[in-house]
Chains A and B, each alone.
Chain A
Amino acid sequence: MSLTLADDERYCFTVEWYEEMAARVRQFQFFYFVKAQSIEMYDIKNRKMFLRTSVKENNISPADLYLGNSINVCGRLLNIVDYGDDYTRRKLSAKKERTLGMIKPDAVDKLGQILDKICQKGFLISRLRMCRMNRNQALSFYQEHQSKPFLNALLDYVTSGPVVTFEIVGENAVGAWREAIGPTDPSAARKTAPTSIRAQYGQDVTFNAVHGSSDPGAAAREIEFFFPSSGPVPPNTARVGNCTCCIIKPSAVKAGMAGKIISAITEAGFQVGATQMFTLEKANAEEFLEVYKGVVHEYSAMVVELTSGPCLVLEICAPEGSPPVAPAFRELAGPTDPEIARHLRPRTLRALFGSDKIKNAIHCTDLPDDGQLEVEYFFRILDR
């Protein structure tokens, strides 16, 4: 996502940091100086400067600064909760508009292709989650269609299977996303906008593959519905049976390869049982990679890579009664080192998408028995 910001600008945000040592959430004012390429954190409670450092060491670009994103500054995971001043709000609220997109049940198996398309169109996905709605939730989600005749069919449709919802951030996100998905009727879309998503993946007016918020107000409401700041959320779809865990690493997500990787996984015959985007804190990443500590040399680098941004966690599963899915998926993922992978298994995921041993596109469960553990860790423990 390219942003053209004037050089001499300063952006101010309110950020929160969960300090593990003290087990408390601390609030800071976060300043980003575009020209000086530096950042500052000001402790609001203690009324003093907390830190001041350069952007280069932390790899934060202006595009990362939007509400709800998590940024990593010197090993601290900061959640951006609010704009710090009117100037920033004025400048960025239009540029960092948010909208909600949803892949409806019939198109969930084309998740990879749709995500790839979203990436190609230059949208930035800040949050993503696969979940299943019950009828009540669907009704409250579609409350604007309360009196429409097609409501029943629509509710039947969206509760018929899992949906993938995601938050899109960008300049004029609402309009751009509506343009990208095309008209409501896929047949009309095929005529007027043949490259739109509904034109390619939709069937008819009801089964139209994707949903997009109609205006910023609706977007805010729908985002609050699926990604509430507190309160219950529609449950995720993890079954935790014969499954294994695959994490598309932050570098690959940032490079926009998530869609391609998911497509490759589904093409290889695996099912994506659940998926969600997580931004890991260091403690969580360490806990998750506990088993690698002392086993591989790259443990700390793996932790750093995993905490460097949002990652996409997938539950890969196979139908009940089939052989264990973990070894098979490991075969698909290929050797840990993409160099070796390119030599020996050029068609594996890491050979195709990895760049080096750390940024090797995906993490997959290594021990066959650990698949459930890892999936549970993400979808039962962290997703609460």
Chain B
Amino acid sequence: MMVGQRTRRCREYTGPAPQSVAIRAREPNKLPPEYLILESRKKEDALREMMKINLAQGFSDLKNEWERTTDKKILLNNVRQEVGNRLKAQEFSIEERRERLRDMLRQEEQHYLAAMEAAEETTLERQARMRERAKSLKEKRESERLQIVQNKYDQQFRAQCEELRTTLSKREQDIVCAERLEQLKLKGEEAKEQKAYDEMYAQLWEKDRQEKMAREEREAHAAHERNRETLDVLHKQMAALDTQKEEAKRLKEEELQLMKEQAALRKMEEQAAAEEKRRRQQEMRDMLDLSLKMKMRKKAKEEQEQLAFDLKMLEQLLEESRNEAKEQLQRKIELREEDRRYRDFLAHVVAEEKQKERELERLIQHEVEAAWQKRLDQWRTERLVRRKLLEEVMAGRNQQLQERLAENMRRKAENDRECQELRVAIEENRRYEAEQAMKRMADSRRYQGDLQDQIHYNDQMREERRRNDDYEFLMGMQAEKEYQERLKDALDNPIFERLHPMRRAMLNKQ
């Protein structure tokens, strides 16, 4: 497509020369000037139309709804009615069936009842049956009566036949006698049994009594034994007490001995200490003497040597002076002077020496003294230690003794307490014994009373039995007598209880 042919969308048109532009005129407006008004009018119209339609629609909706619900209701009601009708019809049919059933059952029942009644007998039949029954009953009674008559005749014969009666009575008597014999025998057996029974009981009692006696003896023996044992125990305890006492005494003696020993020991120790001291002093003195002598000797020797040396030197010097003549004189004087001075000096030295010696002596003395003192001190301390040891030993011993004494005391107290307890136990035992004795006495007395009561009761029982026997015997006699009398009476006036009616009639006639 060419460039110039292309359709333009804007109103500008470029010319052939540069910067030549033409603008197309704007087209006039197609819409009428009252377009907006018309448009709004149209919208309003449409709206109105719509609302009208809506109204109509709503109305028809309502109508439809109403119709539908009504239809539904109608249907429901119809159904309900139909169901109700059918139920009713069912009910009716059931009711009708029930009615029919009721009728049928009633009829049937009546029919059955009628049948039952028909099955029952009529009056006439009943009368006939009753007559029949009466007849049979009568016959039965007649036959029974005949039977009785027969029996009575039989009885009468038995009653009246003397021979039969005698034989019968004899027989009866025999039976009675036999039975009486039997009875007597039985009684004898019973008595025997009773006797055996009594004997057995007596035996049992005897045995029981013996057993009881044996038991009592046993018990007494046991009590005796117990008492003896208690006594033994007491004896033993007393012996123990004695031994304890002796022990205490012995302890005391021992203590005394110990004390004595202790004193002796102390004395001996003191002696030994003094001896020792003296000996040591002696020794010391000897040693000091020796050392002093040795020292003196040494000193003297040294002095001697010194003096010898000095003299030698002096001689040498003199020798030299002799050699020198001139000077000798001079020298002599000087020497003399010197000698004198020397002598003075020597004297001085000797004095000094002596002084020194004295000093030394004094010093030695002092030294010795100090040593001695030291030794003494040592000795003292040793002695002190020894004494302390001894004291400790003595204290230990003492303590031991004290302990032993305390132990003794304690044991003694225990012994005393045991003795006391023993005494109480003995007392208690004695009391218990007395009580037991009392109790035994009471038991025995009660037992005696029981026995007596039993004897009494037995006596009473025997008495009563005897009385009963007597009474029974009397009653038996009485009964026998009465029986005999009654028999006699019966034999004397016989009674006929059941007479034959004919006989009774005859008797009445008489």
Contacts and interface: CB of A to CB of B under 8 A. Distances in A.
Given A366-B105, A367-B104, A291 B97 contact: yes
Nearest to A343: B116
Given A335-B108, A370-B97, 9 more contacts: A291-B98, A294-B98, A295-B101, A344-B112, A344-B115, A366-B101, A366-B104, A367-B101, A367-B104
B112 to A, nearest CB: 5
Interface string A222-246: 0000000000000000000000000
A295 B112 contact: no
Contacts of A294: 98
A340 interface: yes
A344 B94 CA distance: 31
A206 B115 CA distance: 53
A291 B97 CA distance: 7
Interface residues on A, range: 10 to 19
Interface in B73-129: 94, 97-98, 100-102, 104-105, 108, 112, 115-116, 119
B119 A344 contact: yes
Nearest to B97: A291
A201 interface: no
A382 interface: no
A335 B101 contact: no
Interface string B117-161: 001000000000000000000000000000000000000000000
**Majority DSSP secondary structure for residues of A touching B:** loop
A52 B102 CA distance: 41
Contact of B116 (A293, A295, A344): A344
Interface string A337-378: 000100110000000000000000000001101100000000
Contacts of B98: 291-295
Interface in A22-77: none
Interface residues on B, range: 10 to 19
A340 B110 CA distance: 12
A290 interface: yes
Given A343-B119, A344-B119, A291 B101 contact: yes
Contacts of A295: 98, 101-102, 105
Contacts of B102: 295
A290 B94 contact: yes
A342 to B, nearest CB: 12
Nearest to A335: B112
Contacts of A21: none
Contacts of A344: 112, 115-116, 119
20 contacts: A291-B94, A291-B98, A291-B101, A292-B98, A295-B101, A295-B102, A295-B105, A335-B112, A340-B116, A343-B116, A343-B119, A344-B112, A344-B115, A344-B119, A366-B101, A366-B104, A366-B105, A367-B97, A367-B104, A369-B97
A293 to B, nearest CB: 8
A296 B105 contact: yes
Interface in A127-147: none
A367 B105 CA distance: 10
Contacts of B105: 295-296, 336, 366
Contacts of A336: 105
Contacts of A343: 116, 119
Contacts of B94: 290-291
B114 to A, nearest CB: 10
Contacts of B97: 291, 367, 369-370
A144 to B, nearest CB: 50
The 7 lowest CB-CB distance pairs between A and B, nearest first, are A295-B102, A291-B97, A295-B98, A344-B115, A295-B101, A340-B112, A291-B98
B277 to A, nearest CB: 114
Nearest to A341: B112
Contacts of A340: 112, 116
Nearest to B118: A344
Contacts of A293: 98
A142 B100 CA distance: 50
A291 B102 CA distance: 10
B119 to A, nearest CB: 7
B98 to A, nearest CB: 5
A343 B119 CA distance: 9
A355 to B, nearest CB: 19
A344 B108 CA distance: 12
A280 to B, nearest CB: 19
A323 B214 CA distance: 115
Nearest to B108: A335
A312 B129 CA distance: 49
Interface string A279-296: 000000000001111111
